[in-house]
Structure 1
Amino acid sequence: MAAPLEYNRKNMPFRRLGPSGLRVPVFSLGGWLTFGGTVVGDPVKDIVKIALENGINMFDEAETYSRGKSEEELGRVLKELGVRRADIILTTKIFWGTRGGPNNSGLSRKHIIEGLRESLARLQTDYVDIVFAHRPDHTVPVEETVRAFSWVIDQGWAYYWGTSEWSAREIEEAYQIAHKFGLHAPVAEQCEHHLFHRERPEGEYRTLYKKYGLGTTVWSALASGLLTGKYNDGIPEGSRFDTNGKFFSERVKKLQTEEGRRQIEIVKTLTAFAEKELSCSVTHLALAWVAKNPNTSTVILGATKPEQVLDNLKALEIIPKLTPQILEKIDEIVGNKPDALPSFGRPGLDIHGRL
C-alpha cells in the first residue's frame, strides 16, 4: 500500500471564507466539466496529487457534475492517495440532483437532506466543509431552505453553507431568516466573476460584503477559457468549447456576434498589456485580477491535466504586481467597471473616517 500523501502548503496564501473562521487557499480546484466527464481514472489522481503537492487543499464539487460521477472520482482518488481528511476542504452543491423525480432536485428540506447524504456517500466522507445551494429555488419557502441547511450543519454533515448564483435580495432574505430564528446563515456565495462579468459580484453584492462580510468562491474566472486567448482564432480541438460543445453552444455562437468579436479584441489587448507590463500571460493576469479582489475568498480552477494546475498557479506571482495604477489601466481596457453608488450631489466623506 502506498504511503499516505502529505499536503504541502508551499507558498499558497490563505484567506478566511467570508466572515467564518475557515481558512481557504486563494486558488482551489473544481470538478465541473472535467472529473467524471472528460477526465476519468488515473488522470484525475494525477491532477489532484499535483494540486495537493502545490498548495491546493480545497476541492469543489456538486451533485450534478457528471451526474454524480465527479464526486465519485474525487472521493475515490482522495481515498487512494490516503489524504488526511482534516488537511483538506471539501465542498459540494445541492440543487439539480442526479435523477428525475418530483423531489430529487431543488431546495426542499427533503432534497437538501437526502441529496447531501448521497453526495457524502459518493465522496466517501462523513462531512463536507461547505455545502452550497447551487441555485435559488423559487418554489420553496426560503425559511424551509435555511432551516434545512442549518439542520445538516447541526448534524455535522457540513460545517458551513453558502449560496451560488443567488441575487442579493435572496441572500439578504436568507440572512434575515437566519438571524430571526437563530439559524446558521450562509457565509459565502459561489458566483461567476471575471473581466467580462462584473456587475453582480462587484456591483449587486457590494452591500452584502460590507454588511455581512460575505466572501465569494469564484467560478469561471477565465470566462470558460475566453480569457486565455485560445479562442481568438476559432475553437481549438480539445478545448472546453470543443469537448463540451453542446453545453457551450450559445457561448460559441456569441463569439460570432459584434459583442463576441469585441471581447476577443479586448483579450488581444489584455494579452499585449500582460506581456509588456507584467511579463506574464493573459491567463495569469485574469486569474490574479479576480484573486486581487478583497471579497474573493478563493478562485476555483479547472484542469484536464496536471500541467494546467501548475501553470495557473503562476498567477500567485502576479497578484502583488496588480497595483492601483495597473488595475486602473485594466479597467480602461475592458471598460465595464460597475458604477459607484450615486451620492446625489452630496460631498465625499473623509477617507480616514467611517464610511
Structure 2
Amino acid sequence: MNKQAILWLLRILVGGLFIFSGLIKVNDPVGTAIKLEEYFDVFSNDIAGFFYYFKPFALYIALVLVVSEVVLGIMLILGVRLQQTVWALALMILFFTFLTFYSAYFNKVTDCGCFGDAIKLTPWESFYKDIILLVMISFLFFFRSDLPEETPKWASIAAMASLVISTGIGIWAIQNLPFIDFRAYKVGVNIPVNMQPSAPLEYTYVMKKGGETVYLDQYPTEEGYEFVEMVLKNPDALPKISDFAAWNAEGDQSEFLFAGNKVIILSSSMAKMSDANLDEIGSLVKAMEGAPVDVVFIAAATQEEIDAFLNKNGWSIIGLQADATVVKTIMRANPGIMILKDGVVIQKYHHNNTPEATEVIDLFL
C-alpha cells in the first residue's frame, strides 16, 4: 500500500470517528457541558484556580467542541483546507488525550463522556483510544505536505452546511431535550425494575491456601483459606440504575414515587434554575389539583430552600431532596418535568415545552 492510500485510509478512519463522536454529543451538548464542569472543578483544585472561571461558559465551550468534531471530521474526509484541518485535529486530540490521561491516572473524572452516554468507556479505555487517534493524526500531520492542497467547491459548501446543521441541532437539543436519550432514565424505562439486578449476581472467590491462589465459586467453610477478593462473574447483570433516591425529613420516598401517577418537577440547581417558564409550570401545578396525580418537586437543595421555593410560588405540592448528579442524569433541563406511572418513565419535558394539564392526564389513560 503506497503513502497516498495510507493517508486516504487514515482520513476516513479519523474523520469517521470524529463525526461519530461529535454527532452523539451534538445530540446532548448539556451532557458534555456537565463533564466540562467536572474537569474545571478538578483542574481548579489540582492545577490552577482560574479554571473555576470557565464553569459559567461550559455550555458554550461544549457546543463549540462537539460541533467542531463533526465539522472537522467532514472536512478531513472531503478534503477541505486539509493543512488547517489537520492542525486543528492535532490540537484537539492533544487536548482530549490530556483530559483522558488525567482522568485515568488520577482517577478524578471516571467517565470522560467521549461518546456521550451512548458508549461507556473506562478512563484507561478512553486514554488508549485517544493514543491510537493521536498516532493516526500524527501520521497525517507529519505528511500533511502530501495531502491535496485544493479544495473542491462542493466540498466547501458541504462543510459549511455541516457547520450550520450541527450547530442548529446542538442549539435545538439545548433548548428542548436530546433527540435520542441514551441515559438510564429514558422514556419507557421502569426505574424500580432497573434498580434490581437483571439476574442473580455470581462471584468468584479468590482465596489463598498454602501459599497458592485458589478460585472458588462459593465461599469456603473449612479453615485454612485466606480471603483475597471477590470477582463478579456476570457484571452485565448489575442494576442499570444504582443511584436513584429522593428523600425528606421522613426518609427515602422512592416507594411513594414509584406508586401511581406522578408529575415530577426537577431542578439540579435552584440557584441556576431558569425562571423563564415558571408561570407555565405553576399553571400546570394548579391545574393538576384534584386530579388522580401526585405532583412532586425534587431539587438538589436543602429542605428549607425547597419549602421556601414552594411557598413563594404558592405550589401546594410535596418537596423532596435529591443528589445533583442524579437529577442532571435524569433531566437535561433546569427545571424539567418527568411523568411517571408506577415507576415507568412515560414522558419528559424541557421547561420550554411545559405541557398542558390535559396532555399530562391523557398520558395516564
Structure with higher Rg: it is 2
In the superposition, the TM-score normalised over structure 1's length comes to: 0.25
1 or 2 for the larger relative contact order (CA 8 Å, sep ≥6)? Answer: 1
In the superposition, the TM-score normalised over structure 2's length comes to: 0.24
**Structure that is richer in helix per residue:** 2
